[in-house]
């Protein structure tokens, strides 16, 4: 089936394999009208249906255009753009620090990854590194976020198959992690807690103990959920052999994350191109060779276990720092870059430390002016461009930043894993049943905030 027409203005004396100089070709894509006209012209009876964009199984406003023959999917196309918020363009009109507030809202299920990836890119342009403690906290939050994101994939996928118990158990487990996020940043999502040069503030006292108290409850929920799905013949029957994507196809489509690893390739940037000190942690990269929806679900359980290993190691390192009595800053010691990071959250949920307020309000006019200019105008970043990659919960997240030497990005662009992984949907679905499209989408786990950024 072709829904694209080509009109050309070509010199008639040209050969069959060449166009005349200056020839103009116009390509125009068709939608429902073109499909209907072509079907009528060919005398074919084809059923083309919309699944979404308003559909409970599309993980957001995702439109799937399915050509079906009975219950069999003959062609599957993805229609995106319904959630477009202009995040990347908006970042060009905000300071480098304010950009965190935008990019954290892309994949709203896993916001810490966007924050860390973006800040690492800004720091690379600046030629600085965040302090050790800030890096430890970043790793801690990313690995907790990876577990929380995988639980959303598992829970919503179960719910879409009619298993409400799976959703409830999964979200109960995720709730334990969100409480830690709220303790650390004050918010459950869209935190803007990671900043160029470090963090907005250090983790509050008692954070490591709260994590130690949370982990047994969390593991209990995850274990129960794992047993519920692994031993369930109905779930296995619906997911095994469905959404099959072999390794060669995954590589050709640029697919990464759990989907790629479920096809047998142990590609993980935390091992293959380490950042944030991941080379110093002991963990494995789980893989499978089944390359189907069931394998992706089970693989995510394995990845949660590995993330918890890293979390335990980070907690030990943070507690060791707390015991040594030395000062461990969470923001670079550069007054031309560092946003005020010594924040003390008051009863109203905001506020600077008393010492900082005394200095800028009563002791030093220069400090007050600098504080005002740094927050309102931002800091300048040397001209240049950088590409930074991290291992997002859904795959490789790439951050391309361009600076012209000003206080805001000239260009900010993200390679979002949900966007790239969605290319695999047609390969997963075509030739299968309509009901299996839901399973395939759930196994990809796209978040449309990242797709339509």
Beta strands at 198-199 and 194-195: parallel, antiparallel or unpaired: antiparallel
In which domain, by residue range, is 139 found?
Answer: 95-337+379-418
The whole-angstrom separation of Cα 2 and Cα 301 is: 41
The whole-angstrom separation of Cα 49 and Cα 223 is: 39
Tokens 């060919």 found at: 42
pTM: 0.85
> Angle CA(221)–CA(224)–CA(226) in degrees, nearest 5?
105
Give the model's pLDDT for residue 359: 64
pLDDT digits (tens, 9 = 90+) for 356-415: 666 666 666 776 777 777 778 888 999 999 999 999 999 999 999 999 999 999 999 999
- Asked, for residue 305, whether it belongs to a domain, the answer is yes
- Asked, for residue 139, whether it belongs to a domain, the answer is yes
- Asked, for residue 174, whether it belongs to a domain, the answer is yes
Give the model's pLDDT for residue 345: 47
The whole-angstrom separation of Cα 107 and Cα 87 is: 11
- Asked, for residue 359, whether it belongs to a domain, the answer is no
Separation in Å, CA 231 to CA 138, 235, 375: 35, 8, 55
Q: How many domains is the chain built from?
A: 1
Token pair belonging to 414: 């993200």
- Asked, for residue 205, whether it belongs to a domain, the answer is yes
Give the model's pLDDT for residue 373: 76
- Asked, for residue 272, whether it belongs to a domain, the answer is yes
Give the model's pLDDT for residue 59: 75
- Asked, for residue 1, whether it belongs to a domain, the answer is no
- Asked, for residue 295, whether it belongs to a domain, the answer is yes
CATH number at residue 266: 1.10.645.10
What does the pLDDT profile of the chain (453 residues) look like in tens digits?
333 333 434 344 444 444 445 545 444 555 666 766 766 666 556 788 888 787 777 777 888 888 888 888 888 888 888 888 889 999 999 999 999 999 999 999 999 999 999 999 999 999 999 999 999 999 999 999 999 999 999 998 888 888 888 899 999 999 999 999 999 988 899 999 999 999 988 898 899 999 999 999 999 999 999 998 888 888 888 888 998 999 999 999 999 999 999 999 999 999 999 999 999 999 999 999 999 999 999 999 999 999 999 999 999 999 999 888 778 888 888 877 877 655 554 444 444 556 666 666 666 677 677 777 777 888 899 999 999 999 999 999 999 999 999 999 999 999 999 999 999 999 998 888 888 898 999 999 899 888 988
Query: Sign (positive/negative) of CA torsion 320, 283, 394, 292?
Result: negative
The residues, any chain, with a CB within 8 Å of residue 288's CB and separated by 6 or more, are 261, 262, 263, 264, 295, 298, 299
Q: Using an 8 Å Cβ cutoff, are 20 and 13 in contact?
A: yes
Query: Sign (positive/negative) of CA torsion 434, 438, 444, 446?
Result: positive
Give the model's pLDDT for residue 453: 83
Give the model's pLDDT for residue 324: 85
Q: Using an 8 Å Cβ cutoff, are 285 and 261 in contact?
A: yes
pLDDT digits (tens, 9 = 90+) for 8-27: 343 444 444 444 455 454 44
């Amino acid at each position: 089936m072709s829904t694209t027409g080509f009109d050309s203005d070509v010199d008639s004396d040209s050969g069959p394999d060449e166009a005349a100089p200056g020839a103009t070709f116009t390509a125009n894509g068709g939608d429902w009208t073109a499909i209907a006209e072509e079907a009528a012209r060919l005398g074919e009876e084809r059923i083309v249906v919309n699944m979404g964009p308003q559909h409970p199984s599309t993980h957001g406003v995702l439109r799937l255009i399915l050509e079906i023959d009975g219950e069999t999917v003959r062609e599957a196309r993805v229609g995106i753009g319904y959630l477009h918020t202009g995040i990347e363009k908006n970042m060009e009109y905000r300071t480098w620090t304010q950009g965190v507030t935008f990019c954290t809202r892309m994949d709203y299920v896993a916001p810490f990854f966007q924050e860390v990836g973006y800040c690492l890119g800004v720091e690379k342009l600046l030629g600085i590194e965040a302090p050790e403690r800030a890096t430890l906290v970043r790793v801690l939050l990313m690995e907790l976020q990876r577990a929380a994101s995988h639980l959303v994939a598992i829970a919503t996928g179960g719910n879409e198959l009619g298993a409400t118990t799976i959703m409830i158990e999964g979200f109960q487990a995720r709730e334990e992690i969100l409480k830690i996020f709220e303790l650390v940043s004050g918010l459950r999502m869209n935190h803007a807690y990671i900043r160029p040069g470090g963090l907005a503030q250090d983790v509050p006292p008692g954070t490591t103990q709260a994590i130690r108290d949370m982990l047994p409850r969390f593991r209990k929920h995850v274990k129960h959920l794992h047993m519920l799905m692994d031993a369930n013949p109905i779930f296995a029957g619906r997911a095994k052999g469905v959404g099959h994507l072999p390794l060669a196809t995954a590589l050709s489509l640029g697919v990464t994350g759990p989907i790629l690893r479920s096809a047998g390739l142990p590609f993980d940037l935390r091992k293959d191109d380490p950042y944030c000190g991941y080379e110093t942690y002991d963990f494995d990269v789980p893989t499978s060779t089944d390359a189907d929806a069931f394998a992706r679900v089970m693989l995510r359980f394995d990845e949660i276990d590995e993330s918890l290993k890293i979390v335990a190691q980070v907690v030990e390192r943070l507690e060791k720092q707390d015991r040594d009595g030395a000062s461990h800053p969470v923001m670079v010691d550069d007054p031309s870059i560092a946003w005020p990071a010594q924040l003390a959250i008051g009863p109203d949920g905001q506020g600077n430390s008393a010492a900082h307020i005394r200095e800028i309000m009563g002791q030093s006019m220069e400090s007050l002016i600098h504080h005002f200019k740094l927050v309102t105008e931002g800091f300048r970043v040397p001209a240049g461009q950088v590409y930074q990659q991290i291992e997002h919960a859904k795959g490789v997240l790439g951050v391309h930043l361009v600076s012209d030497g000003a206080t805001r990005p000239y260009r900010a662009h993200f390679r979002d894993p949900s966007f790239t992984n969605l290319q695999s949907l047609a390969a997963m679905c075509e030739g299968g049943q309509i009901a299996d499209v839901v399973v395939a989408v759930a196994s990809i786990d796209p978040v449309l905030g990242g797709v339509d950024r």
